[in-house]
Homo-oligomer: A and B are copies of this chain.
Amino acid sequence: MKRNKHHSPEIRKQQILLASEIVLLKEGIESFTIDQVVFHAQIAKGTVYKYYKNKDHLFAELAVKSVEMLYQYFRTAVADIESPIQKLQSVIKSCYRFYHDYPQYYGLLNYFERKEVDAVQRGRYQKISFELQSFIEKIIDEGKAMGEISGKVPTQSIDYIIWSGTIGMIQFIESKKELIPDLKVINQEKLIHDFALIITSGLRI
């Protein structure tokens, strides 16, 4: 550990975060421990606690990274698409793809959305979440302006409905894949596709 002695706080924090990601990927949220982070970062336990006061503080940082990754998925999803309705369909499907590609990061978002954490830890997470939210709301407003999406329901409500519905769908797939034997047959991607189709058709003028 001596070799880390002269590293700057920024480098140390990065080390700790990268080690945390390794632990998250290997162990998941449930079995995540600071001790494992210490092991992977090859850094003194006291140093970890100097920057992150507990597990939730680390999770908060990782959750910020997760939202940033999801945001990247969203941006890629809408590239080269003209129609706002089709953009929303593509965003919904990319959310499922993110869950599929990075279940641990997706789980962290979910964990973080529910859990009571203190305001400071929530601050940065909330900031980037709001960016994501306005990204979607801009698409909805664009659809309203182009006469593709009905003006009857407020934009924010539509955003909440798309977001919550998508989370509900993914949760259903996640919780039911063991219980409902025919869910594999129905095909998860097809189910998300149909959900995206139904919910966006309901937005049309």
Question: Using a CB–CB distance below 8 Å, which chain A residues touch chain B?
Answer: 113-114, 116, 152-154, 156-158, 160-161, 163-169, 171-172, 175, 178, 186, 190-191, 194-195, 197-204
Residue pairs across A and B with Cβ atoms less than 8 A apart, 21 shown, are A114-B175, A157-B186, A157-B190, A158-B194, A158-B198, A161-B191, A161-B198, A164-B172, A165-B169, A167-B172, A168-B169, A168-B171, A171-B171, A197-B202, A198-B199, A198-B202, A199-B199, A201-B202, A201-B204, A202-B202, A202-B203
**Is the pair A169, B175 in contact by a Cβ cutoff of 8 Å?**
no
**Is the pair B156, A186 in contact by a Cβ cutoff of 8 Å?**
yes
A11 CB → nearest B CB, Å = 33
Q: Select one of B163, B165, B178 contacting A199, CB under 8 A.
A: B165
**Is the pair A153, B203 in contact by a Cβ cutoff of 8 Å?**
no
Q: A157 and B194 in contact (CB under 8 A), knowing A163-B172, A169-B165, A172-B163?
A: yes
